[in-house]
Amino acid sequence: MPGLSSSSDVQLDLVQTWFRLQGDLVGIFGVAVRTALDEVIETARTTRWSLEQCGNQEKAYVGVKLENVVRGIFSFERGALGMDYDVAGIDVDCKWSKSWGRWQIPREAVGHICLLIWADDPRSEMAVGLIRIREQILVGGNQDKKRTLQSPGGISEIRWLVPRTPLLPPNFLLQLPDADRSA
């Protein structure tokens, strides 16, 4: 439904309602994000305590980890049209960003609904929203032909399931004073 705005989108309404019926979305998505970040940081094996200590490939892997953690939490099947999830019979793609508003949207997601997840680990902040991707709200392009949402135009169309909040479960080691962490 590429021509629809977010205010008249029956599928987006259904997906939003489905998520809202799942209960404490701050808690559910907080655990999902914390799990994905911790699995990439992998402190026990690497002695790292921050995503910033990871290489670029590892940082990029957070999105894949998060997609899989969310799939497991909600028992989602893959979408019939090639997106990450089937939510109430509707294809939904999952997009992660550690930079506010910088979700990378691939060409194949245009016309589909995206579950947008953002987190700032040092600040223990996160946000989760839904949006129908339309050509009109995308800008730029990288070497993979992925684009980002217009700011503020595209970002204003996001339907927030979890508005930006400082309720991401904290990274315990990141919160410690340097001397204690080093010890």
Q: Which residues of 57-89 are buried (b: 16+ CB within 10 A; e: fewer)?
A: ebeebbbebbbbbbbeeeebeebeeebbbebee
pLDDT digits (tens, 9 = 90+) for 45-62: 877 767 777 788 888 889
What pLDDT, on a 0 to 100 scale, did the predictor assign at position 153? 85
Alpha-carbon 140 to chain mean position: 20
In what helix (H) or strand (E) does residue 56 lie, and over which residues does it extend? helix 56-74
Distance CA 134, CA 147 (A): 11
pLDDT digits (tens, 9 = 90+) for 61-118: 899 999 999 999 999 999 999 999 999 999 999 999 999 999 999 999 999 999 999 9
Question: Over 60: is that where the pLDDT of 11 sits?
Answer: yes
What's the mean pLDDT in 10-35? 97
What pLDDT, on a 0 to 100 scale, did the predictor assign at position 1? 42
pLDDT digits (tens, 9 = 90+) for 132-150: 999 999 988 776 778 999 8
